Chains A and B, each alone.
Chain A
Amino acid sequence: QQQVKQSPQSLIVQKGGISIINCAYENTAFDYFPWYQQFPGKGPALLIAIRPDVSEKKEGRFTISFNKSAKQFSLHIMDSQPGDSATYFCAASKDSGYALNFGKGTSLLVTP
């Protein structure tokens, strides 16, 4: 079964707006939560990642918010740009390993 649930499936945001993608997990053994970005015809690429000892991590326009008690984490993209249009995947793993459990992805379209 899907161990990481991601929503929404698709998202349309105007340029300059905030894009928000949410993920939820059940397994409390997960200790590493990355977000990957994938453009058509390319493999996913790491965007930003967080571990459960912090509640928020910011890198440029991208911020992960992490709520350990609710078992939820989210990606916020500030000042969204057309170049951000891609599919975003949240993921989780335990023992900080490479066996990532991915969400089903969110297709983001940023309109000019």
Chain B
Amino acid sequence: KAGVTQTPRYLIKTRGQQVTLSCSPISGHRSVSWYQQTPGQGLQFLFEYFSETQRNKGNFPGRFSGRQFSNSRSEMNVSTLELGDSALYLCASSLFGPRDTGELFFGEGSRLTVL
């Protein structure tokens, strides 16, 4: 069974630009969550989607947005990039349903560098 796939794996942008990151969950998983990982702040929850609806949102500015498609694939977008947005962005998928154990299955992340 293929794991969570994130694209692109690495990207470099400049301040003020915007970026879109993509996530394909494990087949059959219906919930997708996004996390930002930085050396200083660690892992921070961005948002979670299920059935194309945002169920939860972390404490990030409105420049951070996301969406989920009918096939459970998800994208997140960061507009007007700032230097502090440089981070590893991790996507995680979960079953969501009667057999769900609560486990998050993480991808390897998209490493964003903002210059």
Contact = CB atoms under 8 A, between A and B. Distances in A.
Interface of A: 32, 34, 36, 41-46, 49, 89, 91, 93, 96-105
A101 B4 CA distance: 21
B102 A99 contact: no
Interface stretch (B11-19, B41-49, B67-75, B76-84): B41-49
Interface residues of B, number: 25
- The dominant DSSP class at the B interface is strand
A111 to B, nearest CB: 24
B24 interface: no
A62 to B, nearest CB: 15
Interface of B: 4, 31, 33, 35, 41-45, 48, 55-56, 58, 90, 92, 94, 101-109
Contacts of A103: 42
16 contacts: A41-B108, A43-B108, A45-B105, A49-B103, A97-B48, A97-B55, A98-B31, A98-B55, A99-B33, A99-B58, A100-B43, A101-B45, A102-B35, A102-B43, A103-B42, A105-B43
B108 A34 contact: no
A98 B45 CA distance: 9
Contacts of A49: 101-103
B56 A98 contact: yes
A100 B45 contact: yes
B45 A43 contact: no
Contacts of A41: 108
